Structure 1
Amino acid sequence: MAVIALVSGKSSGVTCSALALALASPRPSLLVEADPAGGTIRTGYLAGEGSAATGLHRLAVADRQNTLAKEFQHHFVALDRDHTGQRLLLPGLTDPAQAPSMARTWDHLATLLQVMDEGGYDVIIDAGRITAESETRLSSTTYPAPLLRRADAVLLVVRNTQASLNSAAPAVRVLREDLAHHGTGADALALLVIEEGNFSSSNIQQALHAPVVGLLAWDSESADVFTHGAYKKTARALLRSARSAHGPINELVTRRRVQLVPAGVPPLARRAS
């Protein structure tokens, strides 16, 4: 299975992309809303289903009480209308002001997500827009950096437009340096492209010096479904492209795991700081 984190340099559709990958996964999936700006899927895509008594903001309290592992799975919400347990959501923060309270919990949560991975789930992390404390390091106080540093792949979501490429360039530099020095390597970084504009994959790779690992359809109707409600219609175009993207993403994950094992980096001992 895989632990895959999605991020952006500026608002570029991370949540819709993460939701599409989670719903289109060929295996059971867990979507984690780790965006410090707060979660929107429960009130948007799920149209208010579930209770505010569950979610990421409650796990910081459980961590301080040393009950995080025990309570972790009690905070999952079903993403599929049939409640089969194949598509799960860990809802995000309800207020951005809660983000600093998660600082000590992110690393513990990363370990639990790797347990879910080993249990047969694809774990998709929506980490939102990156926050850096320097040009070479992600913030350790207001951003879920440990989740990225221990992920199998970190996908920077970018649209194939000039404006999006410009905003992505600084994010690529920070992510590459942070993953190289504090994570499992800069090669964890790849690009997930939303096809809104006209730049080709080769153009994007050349501009950002990072590989394109997947393409998602520019589908405003699907984005509306994912943002405002699950049951209006089926988001077919975006889900089709998300299913196709899983192939190359999983190839990246498999290749990196093969490379890391000889280097003595077992799954539950991936570097973090």
Structure 2
Amino acid sequence: MTVTALVSAKSSGVTTSALALTLSSSRPSLLAECDPAGGTIRAGLFQGQISAGTGLYHLAAAARAGEDALAQAFAGHLVRLDESGHRQLLPGLTDPGQAPAMGRTWPTLAQVMRVLSDEGGYDVVIDAGRLALESGHLHPTLTPAPLLHGADLVLLVVRATDQSLALARQVTDPLRTELIERGSGADALGILLIEEGPRRAHEVGDALRLSVMAALPWDPHTAAHLAGTGRAPRAVKKSALLRNARSAIDQLQAAASRRTLHRRYPPAAPGATTARLAGVLQRLNQEAMTGG
């Protein structure tokens, strides 16, 4: 299926959006909370019910024993997001000080995500948190860059406000360059628009020179529930946020599928198609003249 990484220039609802997409998928889904600044779902939605003995940080210790050890340990650190177990969570770091230990783990974890998507049929959503830059490049410790390199789509979560756009402009070019040089290409990068603010989707896309690949409505009651700061609204599955998230994740799947087709069947060089057609017509004309 699809590996989608969500990032932001500043807190723009990355975790809430990641939860909404994961909970709304019609396929098996996994949310990997990989923000080096620390996860919030453990203390938020789960209200501290997940112990510190479960989660991302423990995979770093497993990775030191080898890729196979990490792969075997991975399933043991997942938590159900629903009763069926079709939607699961890899809880994030409990302390930002744990981030440096993850450097060697990110590449192997990216491979695990790829296998889950390609062979397991999972929609994988990565909460990569706020982007941190150093000398115009992604910070080697404070951003899980290998996860972005391996994703089908990397979505910059942006609110429809001038302030959010101004902050997003600062990270768009470094992120685009990173995906060109080390990822799967600039066309992996797009926008997930949170419709809070006066700007329309086309204005946001034009301002950042990126496609708005999906949008989610501003639904503060459901967002508060997912953040663990408010009660669940009635019929939460039918809320505006989750209804639109279902459409959004299907749109992202379609976008990822189009990218895959373009990579497998790249456009012909300019003039190549015309030359081939001319050759076909010439041969047909010759056969017609000779009666053959």
Report if TM-score (shorter chain) is over 0.5: yes
* Residues 1:48 and 2:51 are matched in the alignment: no
Query: 1:110-137: CA deviations, max 9, x gaps?
Result: 00111111201100000000112232x3
Q: Distance in 1 between matches of 2:249 and 2:44?
A: 24
Q: Which residue type is aligned with residue 241 of structure 2?
A: L
Q: If the length of structure 1 is used for normalisation, what is the TM-score?
A: 0.92
Tell me how far apart the structure 1 counterparts of residues 95 and 18 of structure 2 sit (CA, whole Å): 20
Gaps of at least 5 residues in structure 2 are 267-292
Name the amino acid aligned to 2:253. N
* Shift of residue 142, structure 1, vs aligned partner: 2.7
Match for 2:99: what amino acid?
Answer: A
Query: Shift of the alpha carbon at 1:230?
Result: 8.6
Alignment match, 1:252 = 255
**Contact in 2 for aligned 1:54/1:75 (Cα 8 Å):** yes
Q: Structure 1: 5+ residue runs without aligned partners? A: 264-273
Q: 3-state SS of the aligned residue for 1:198?
A: coil
Q: What CA distance in whole angstroms lies between the structure 2 residues aligned with 1:79 and 1:42?
A: 11
Deviations 1:60-119 (A, max 9, x none): 111112221111111000011x1x220000000000000011001100000011111120
What letter corresponds to residue 245 of structure 2 in structure 1? A
* Conservation of the 8 A alpha-carbon contact between 2:80 and 2:87: yes
What residue is the counterpart of 2:157 in the other structure? 157
C-alpha distance in 2, partners of 1:209/1:232? 37
Shift of 1:251: 1.6
Q: How does 1:226-265 map to 2 (within 5 A)?
A: 226-228=226-228, 232-233=232-233, 234=236, 236-262=239-265
Instruction: Spell out the pairing of 1:1-273 with structure 2 (5 A cutoff).
Output: 1-66=1-66, 67-80=69-82, 82=83, 84-118=84-118, 119-135=120-136, 137-228=137-228, 232-233=232-233, 234=236, 236-262=239-265
Aligned length: 260
CA-CA distance at 1:252 after TM superposition: 1.2
Distance 1:231 1:115 in 2: 36
The one-letter code sitting in structure 1 at the alignment partner of 2:76 is H
Question: Are 1:47 and 1:229, in contact at CA under 8 Å, matched by a contact in 2?
Answer: no
| Aligned residue identity for 2:252 | I
- In the alignment, the residues of structure 1 paired with residue 95 and residue 145 of structure 2 have an alpha-carbon distance, to the nearest angstrom, of 19
Counterpart residue type for residue 131 of structure 1: A
Separation (CA, whole Å) in 1 of partners of 2:158 and 2:243: 19
Q: What residue is the counterpart of 2:281 in the other structure?
A: none
Looking at structure 2, the residues matched to 62 and 224 of structure 1 have their Cα atoms a distance apart, in angstroms, of 34
**RMSD between aligned residues:** 1.5
Q: Post-superposition shift, 1:171?
A: 1.4
Give the partner amino acid of 1:77: V
Q: Residue 140 of structure 1: CA displacement?
A: 2.2
Q: Distance in 2 between matches of 1:171 and 1:23?
A: 28
One-letter code aligned to 1:142: L
Helix, strand or coil at the partner of 2:134: coil
Deviation per residue, 1:123-178 (Å, 9 max, x gap) = 0000000112232x312233210000110000000000000000001111111110
SS state at 1:12 partner: coil
Structure 1 residues 115-124 or 61-70, which shifts more?
Answer: 61-70
Distance 1:88 1:230 in 2: 22
Question: How far apart are the structure 2 equivalents of 1:143 and 1:168?
Answer: 16
Provide the C-alpha distance between the structure 2 equivalents of 1:232 and 1:153, rounded to a whole number of angstroms. Answer: 30
AA matched with 1:93: L
- Report if aligned partners of 2:224, 2:230 keep a CA contact under 8 Å in 1: no
Q: How high is the sequence identity, in percent, across the aligned residues? A: 51
Q: How big is the shift at 1:262?
A: 4.9
Task: Tell me, in whole angstroms, the C-alpha distance in 1 between the residues paired with 2:216 and 2:89.
Answer: 21
TM-score by length of 2: 0.86
Q: Secondary structure at the match of 1:43?
A: coil
Secondary structure in structure 2 of the residue aligned to 1:156: strand
Q: Kindly indicate whether the alpha-carbon contact (under 8 Å) linking 2:149 and 2:183 is maintained by their aligned counterparts in 1.
A: yes
CA–CA separation in structure 1 for the residues paired with 2:189 and 2:110: 18
Write the deviation string for residues 205-238 of structure 1: whole angstroms up to 9, x where unpaired: 1110000011101011011101116973326111
Asked if the contact 2:216/2:244 (under 8 Å) is kept, the reply is yes
